[in-house]
Structure 1
């Protein structure tokens, strides 16, 4: 029943670690020790993007339950929240939340001993997030959670691990300690000379604590803007990773591969700065809320 929150800036290796534990990525060096009888359920946001837009929920569950009757399949989908009309709706016409809900339920249906959730709430609405939280609280197995959703992390994780500098270690502290850690590392990275990548812009320091009660609107908008900037920076890195992962990019166009690598370095630096700014903005907003309350 471990509830482990996996922390770390984008690119630190969180998803790579998850893939190795889920046996979706072969290790290149060293050894990985795990019980072969352990069933691992792995949900990640890219599964949603990889869904066939012409599939329907009924098509998907037919492949997952080939021996079941049609009535059993439809009953299972109804349990997932898909009514008679929705079961034959194509993926292209489902919302992001509906796709995520379908995939999450499909993962849970395998009765895993360990559930790995990589950004599970990106496409979920408030009701679906609440249902996910309740389901995790009822889940009898272990959970490894990777998310930028601070409230979900606080409500689920009772232990924190940190991915940094090519390793994963227990993190002694809470999410506020982690916010300070990220900000300090980002500042140190900007101050340090580099020969490879463009220097990341220094994140704006968090505002001083208010001397009196003040409205939180500006801080909330700053946090929302920082979250949107973080999402854009994350997508920019993901897009460059997709281009770099093309099988023939290095063989057929090495100059383009080198250029993409340099762009990826710059994008990663901007992403780390955006994450530090988001952490600082959220921390400032929550401090203001506490003062107003």
Structure 2
């Protein structure tokens, strides 16, 4: 178990943890919560050995293997699968040992290395790595693409997959959901729920914390407090404690006032001096119950729009995308005044393309987009730095905004406005490039609010926002009198703000008839459907000629049947090969299991070495078959998707 006993931790002169004691048991899944700057990352630094205690005791089982997501952006031409596979440090060590033993022609060492390879899961390492990559939203054809060919957010997903690939007893996750879409988030939740080790996670996504944690540790005022239960249970217990503390404090103040009144009244009277003195001592002995000082919660509101055109905009038979790639076709949707629209869809289906088109960042390839008279858009880009200058400070951003976009404002007015978003004092002159992600997000929100939009386009606005700021955003959006279009993986925000959903998928946009729970089931069913379609062996009859003349309905049915038969004809040989591969893979898996069982028995070194070589050959053949299976599955999926 992890144990902190009377532990104090400093950075320079600053005390980060002061005389804290806490125990975390093996297998517990812990949410570490607290305001930004409270010291959550400090706790992680203590656990991973980057910081050491200044006083007290800290212990963690020495045999525990630890895994965490590297925070730096990977820079390598290595393929995605190889990069993630390298996260399995045990497997990499054994492979290196085998290479050294083969170079030295040491038969005994080779035999031991082959046995260790079997224990390390060499036979299914590549499929495990690729399952992680696909689960986090990558496509089959991207499995071997160079890491450097992906954007920053996708490379951080590969860092997450690499951390999950590592065999571990302790898993540390710091904001793992920041770069994920909702479909990848649902998959990650399911994976973490099956994780057998001890886990600590820092996250500002309350539904994610509720789904994957059973213990909550709250860090506040240099103290750690353990609560049983997930984040919602912690919030309930914490609120009850604060209410009780406030009540106790109020009663104590009444008692103190009563004692002080007696002291003030009778301390000068000789006959009452002893009683007065005893009450002075009672005051001194009285345990001081700290008042509940509500920390400076961040609150803001969107200004009332100057006008509300209705409809806000209308999209008619539009084709959306980029010059080299069509993403969405046949888009015809209207956005009315006052609507609260949540935009759902799996990764890469076109959610951001839709938002960027409405925000005038890119033009529609075909069709028309008609804007209502007086439409004023406030756009929150998924990457805050898209609209911020790293060298400029918040005041300079606001001055430029007021001058170039409006409404106009004097410098003092702009300073006061920034102060309402917690940019006060020296912060108004601090370069944006030195700010945290949460501070940048608050500045973007401030700039949007200043413009008094009547249509808010928000693409993942909660990345880097803490729980308190997310709550403030939710309240502000609910009070906003204009229209909201929201893309977010924060289900709590979607539930609180949106009253209807659009589904972006398979090259089209349509209404989604259901809530977020229905959508999560849809995502799981869709993933299951794709897997089953990839593995199924179709047995369709041969095509037959259609009559020369037929009624329109019959003609449509026959055309549909002909299309299905053509699809079956194209996919039949691929599915036949897929079935043969599955049978061969099952046979190879049985062979590897038999060899692994043989290696686990007492054998002469020569037989161990021979069995190890056979196991290596069988594992390599199985790996080749699995890679071909993945390629075939992707090809079948692409053909079926194109036919829909």
Pick one of 33, 57, 68 that aligns with 2:394.
57
Report the 3-state secondary structure (helix = DSSP H, G, I; strand = E; otherwise coil) of the residue aligned with 1:133: helix
| 1:87 has 2:428 as partner | yes
Larger Rg: 2
Pick one of 532, 549, 555 that aligns with 1:191.
532
Aligned to 1:15: 352
| 1:177 has 2:518 as partner | yes
How many residue pairs get aligned? The number is 197
Higher relative contact order (CA 8 A, sep 6+): 1
| 1:108 has 2:449 as partner | yes
Counterpart-to-counterpart distance in 2, 1:44 and 1:51: 10
Q: Is the 8 A contact 2:418 2:428 kept in 1?
A: yes
Pick one of 315, 337, 340 that aligns with 1:3.
340
Counterpart-to-counterpart distance in 2, 1:13 and 1:106: 26
Counterpart-to-counterpart distance in 1, 2:447 and 2:360: 18
Normalising by structure 2, we get a TM-score of 0.29
Aligned to 1:32: 369
Q: Deviations over 1:151-188 (max 9, x none)?
A: 11111111111111111111101111111111111222
Report the 3-state secondary structure (helix = DSSP H, G, I; strand = E; otherwise coil) of the residue aligned with 2:425: coil
Q: Is the 8 A contact 2:384 2:440 kept in 1?
A: no
Deviation at 1:29, TM superposition (A): 1.3
Q: Is the 8 A contact 2:502 2:512 kept in 1?
A: yes
Counterpart-to-counterpart distance in 1, 2:370 and 2:423: 39
Counterpart-to-counterpart distance in 2, 1:188 and 1:36: 44
Aligned to 1:130: 471
Report the 3-state secondary structure (helix = DSSP H, G, I; strand = E; otherwise coil) of the residue aligned with 2:509: strand
Report the 3-state secondary structure (helix = DSSP H, G, I; strand = E; otherwise coil) of the residue aligned with 1:124: coil
Q: Is the 8 A contact 1:44 1:120 kept in 2?
A: yes
Report the 3-state secondary structure (helix = DSSP H, G, I; strand = E; otherwise coil) of the residue aligned with 1:32: strand
Q: Which runs of 5+ in 1 are unaligned?
A: 196-265, 270-293
Q: Is the 8 A contact 2:456 2:483 kept in 1?
A: yes
**Which residues in structure 2 correspond to 1:154-165 (within 5 Å)?**
154-165=495-506
Counterpart-to-counterpart distance in 2, 1:36 and 1:8: 30
**Which residues in structure 2 correspond to 1:134-145 (within 5 Å)?**
134-145=475-486
Aligned to 1:42: 379
Q: Which runs of 5+ in 2 are unaligned?
A: 1-337, 535-570, 575-630, 635-644
Report the 3-state secondary structure (helix = DSSP H, G, I; strand = E; otherwise coil) of the residue aligned with 1:27: coil
Counterpart-to-counterpart distance in 2, 1:140 and 1:48: 27
Counterpart-to-counterpart distance in 2, 1:147 and 1:65: 29
Counterpart-to-counterpart distance in 2, 1:45 and 1:16: 12
Report the 3-state secondary structure (helix = DSSP H, G, I; strand = E; otherwise coil) of the residue aligned with 1:31: strand
RMSD over equivalenced CA pairs, Å: 2.0
Report the 3-state secondary structure (helix = DSSP H, G, I; strand = E; otherwise coil) of the residue aligned with 1:33: strand
Would the alpha carbon gap of residues 129 and 93 (structure 1) be closer, same or farther in structure 2, given more than 3 Å must change? same
Q: Is the 8 A contact 2:418 2:446 kept in 1?
A: no
Counterpart-to-counterpart distance in 2, 1:117 and 1:155: 15
